A and B are shown apart, each in its own frame.
Chain A
Amino acid sequence: MSRTLRPVVLLCALPAAFFVAFFLAPMAVVLIASLTTPGGQPTFAHYLRILADSYHWDVLWVTFRIGALTTLICVLIGYPLAWYLVRTVRFRPWRRFCVILLVVPLFTSNIVRSFGWMVLLGRNGLVNDGLIGLGLIERPMRFLGTELGILIGLVYILLPFIVLAVGNALAKVDPALEHASADLGATPAGTFRTIIFPLSLPGLMAGAVMVFMLAVSAYVTPALLSGGRITVFSMLIFQQYSSVFDFNYGGALSITMLVLTLALVAIAGRLSEPGRA
């Protein structure tokens, strides 16, 4: 054994074994199950069933539409908020308070956060009361059980990821670049467009990809805010495992979701590579 190999094996044997036993092996079991009959014969039937069923296409479409809209809204709200926290706030205690406000939800379970929105978005919830009080609507709107309700909950849960990612990128932009740009006669808007925005783009893309992944695979928030009226893909998977007990078909659904999500993320990653945008 070479001089490097021995310590590496000593250090990595246990973690590698653990991951093989409780991560790679389970994933392999799902993959194999998705390609076999309950009797163990190889088959593509489960995937063909997914492809043939238009219901699955509808669910996929809803899931990815919710994912894309969540990401878009998070970017539109998150970028200005990150800008505000990094560039505008000068009063330190207030900024600290804002950062804490941003992080507290991350430390609270999705259940609690979604439950908060269940209370707020109910027929007689604060949101409806407020909208009626402002004279914007006459009768209570239905939020629970609608895509809008799910979007409000998911954006809430995922917004901190974008703000932190963009905020980190903005905080790293060297102030000298801005001074140079201004000295050379660029307007603030011009400096933003040509210097700051491109430099914050990697952070923005990383945050957006993270948000999209989490939104597409979210289970708890859609389950609670859909009131059973809207089905997203993770609910299909959960049903197969917890009530239908068709592990082969559930496996095929799992692999389908995994492959689609990773493919879209890979495409987004490619598009955001420097020099391609």
Chain B
Amino acid sequence: MVALILVRIVSFAALAYLALPLVVLVGASLTTTSFLAFPPQGLTLAWYGKMLGDPSYVSAFTTSTLLAVAATVVAMLLAVPAAIAIARYRFAGRRLLSETLMSPLILPHVVLGAALLQYGSAIGLVRSFPALLVGHVVIIMPFVLRAVLPQLTDEQKSLEDASADLGARPLTTFFLVTLPQIRSGLVSGAIFAFIASWINVELSIFNTTAELTTIPVKLFNYVQYTIDPTIAAVSGLTIIVAAIVIVLLDLTIGLDVLSERRR
């Protein structure tokens, strides 16, 4: 009984701890003062207006979004065939391949960012959109693999075999049989990949410039010198977007990952 009460106390404290920074940032972004204040003094959307009127923020938002979309598309095009090979065929080097493709997950991103910068300067691929893109693809491919691999089950394999026996060509089988069955994995993999790219700092920071920068890197450079309600508005916007995406995810594919097994 005592243990249960303790669990409740810790849990409520932890939930408050999780909510606090988000509430404070969104709150502070609404203040009418010219400095960060929480609770906000007065309510205004002026700081959001200021952010949207600043071309450097708009361009950073655009770069981040284009980069995340491009990286997600490339990562899907590379990861899905690799996942099919890993799930469907037994070949020498299969484990090595899957472990290599997953390893960016356990590699410090600062190390990888530094490596890409050094390698990029040798081959002439630095501080440009393509330089950012290749790095992002490397770090988000594991998210796609992790979401798609468990969905390529053996039961499906027999459907694919049936399709092949009936004379369908491999590509036809892929589009008509395999793809529809792994759709939810593709969707969640793509969303996690997109987000991982969209919020990345450690990797991007090596290859951004004053003109070409992503929104998290721009925030990072800013926050170290100035703190004003515009920053809170930019942060507030990213929090609100994240919350909307998650509620949509919850309503479509269901996020209730922690529900107990049906009794």
Give residues 199-216 of B contacting A (CB, 8 Å): 199-202, 205-206, 215-216
- Would you call A99 and B257 a contact (CB within 8 A)? yes
- Would you call A168 and B239 a contact (CB within 8 A)? no
What per-residue 1/0 map shows which CB atoms of A60-82 lie under 8 Å from chain B?
00000000000000000110111
**A156 — which chain B residues lie within 8 A by C-beta?**
17-18, 21
**B253 — which chain A residues lie within 8 A by C-beta?**
none
Contact of B250 among A21, A78, A96, A117 (CB under 8 A): A96
Interchain pairs with CB closer than 8 A, number: 272
- Would you call A107 and B246 a contact (CB within 8 A)? yes
Which DSSP category, helix, strand, loop or mixed, fits chain B's interface? helix
* Count of A interface residues, CB-CB < 8 Å: 92
What per-residue 1/0 map shows which CB atoms of B3-20 lie under 8 Å from chain A?
110111011011101111
- Would you call A107 and B195 a contact (CB within 8 A)? yes
**B46 — which chain A residues lie within 8 A by C-beta?**
none
- Would you call B235 and A112 a contact (CB within 8 A)? yes
**A18 — which chain B residues lie within 8 A by C-beta?**
78, 134, 137-138
CA distance A101 to B106 in the complex (A): 25
Q: Cβ of B176 < 8 Å from any Cβ of A?
A: no
**B10 — which chain A residues lie within 8 A by C-beta?**
77, 80-81, 84
Q: Which of B91, B170, B206 has the most CB of A within 10 A?
A: B91
CA distance A171 to B262 in the complex (A): 10
CA distance A7 to B178 in the complex (A): 15
- Would you call A15 and B82 a contact (CB within 8 A)? yes
Known: A82-B258, A96-B250. 6 other contacts (CB 8 A): A8-B91, A30-B119, A111-B219, A111-B235, A119-B25, A224-B220
Interface residues of A (CB under 8 A from B): 4-5, 7-8, 10-12, 14-16, 18-19, 21-27, 29-30, 33, 77-78, 80-88, 95-96, 98-113, 115-120, 126, 156, 159-160, 164, 167-168, 170-172, 174-175, 189, 213, 216-217, 219-220, 223-224, 234, 237-238, 240-242, 247, 250-251, 254, 257-258, 261-262, 265
